[in-house]
Amino acid sequence: MIETIAFDGDDTLWHNETLFSVTQARFADLLAPYGPFPDVPERLVATEGRNLSSFGYGIKGFTLSMIETAIELTDGRIAGRDIQAIIDAGKSMRDHPVELLAGVRDVVEGLVGGPRRLMVITKGDLFDQESKLARSGLADLFDAVEIVSEKDEGTYRRILDRHAIDPAAFLMVGNSLRSDVLPVVGVGARAVHVPYEVTWAHEQVEPVDGRRPGVWELAAIRELPALLDELDAA
């Protein structure tokens, strides 16, 4: 019996990666007059990868990586006003309305008041994530929220310990195999993978081969209640 269900935030409860993609497109447009640069996306991904250990995940680190990439690609010719435009693009990401994925509100509201504890376990910048949760309108529906800087087995073990949750009674729901599925089954709990339309380059892992025990894949979060009924009946 599943006693606690935890949801990932970005690209599970609310859209996130699409906003980064839109900003990346604006970034490429902004650099076009200095170009042509056919490999803006690849160069930006490379800068982000190099900077993960300095900046972690989130909008501010992404903004700094865009600035670095712009300086690199233009050999320092990028104008101050264009750097300011990059910073403004970062700020507008922060201020962008939080858009829930289809079905999210119905599914979460349907679980409230039921027998299971509901959590959010989300990775990223504390400031960004708190702001998104607050603006999602969902914050009051969850019994606990954990914002973490990395989702590995150690992180999940600490969270389960802290909340006195038996791994066998814990189910994680998220869009990332790397962050929401593999480390969760690694600590003996179960996971539901709901792929998002886009996966950030630094979250990509090889797809899981065949069917893995303790992991279910759903096309949309709307299918979660039926799966829970199935698991309860099993």
Query: Minimum Å distance from CB 97 to its own copies?
Result: 15
Residues counted in the chain: 234
Query: Minimum Å distance from CB 68 to its own copies?
Result: 6
CA dist., res. 8 & res. 15, Å (int): 12
Q: Which is nearer to its own copies, 145 or 208 (CB)?
A: 145
Exposure of 157 in the CB half-sphere (CA atoms within 13 A)? 7
- Return the residue matching tokens 């990932």: 8
Q: Which is nearer to its own copies, 22 or 147 (CB)?
A: 147
Q: Is the separation of the CB atoms in 193 and 218 below 8 Å?
A: yes
CA dist., res. 56 & res. 149, Å (int): 7
Q: Which is nearer to its own copies, 127 or 201 (CB)?
A: 127
Q: Which is nearer to its own copies, 47 or 191 (CB)?
A: 47
Exposure of 108 in the CB half-sphere (CA atoms within 13 A)? 25
CA dist., res. 64 & res. 23, Å (int): 13
Q: Which is nearer to its own copies, 80 or 210 (CB)?
A: 80
**Exposed, middle or buried: residue 26 (CB in 10 Å: 0-12, 13-18, 19+)?**
middle
| Continuous segment of H or E residues that includes residue 160 | helix 153-162
Q: Which is nearer to its own copies, 52 or 208 (CB)?
A: 52
Query: Minimum Å distance from CB 34 to its own copies?
Result: 10
CA dist., res. 191 & res. 178, Å (int): 12
Query: Minimum Å distance from CB 47 to its own copies?
Result: 11
Query: Minimum Å distance from CB 82 to its own copies?
Result: 9
Query: Minimum Å distance from CB 58 to its own copies?
Result: 8
**Exposed, middle or buried: residue 141 (CB in 10 Å: 0-12, 13-18, 19+)?**
middle
Using CB under 8 A, list all residues that contact its own copies: 54-58, 60-61, 63-64, 67-68, 70-71, 74-81, 83-84, 87, 90-91, 94-95, 125-127, 130, 147-149
Pick the closest to residue 142 from 106, 111, 163, 175 (CA basis). 111
Query: Minimum Å distance from CB 125 to its own copies?
Result: 7
Q: Which is nearer to its own copies, 12 or 122 (CB)?
A: 122
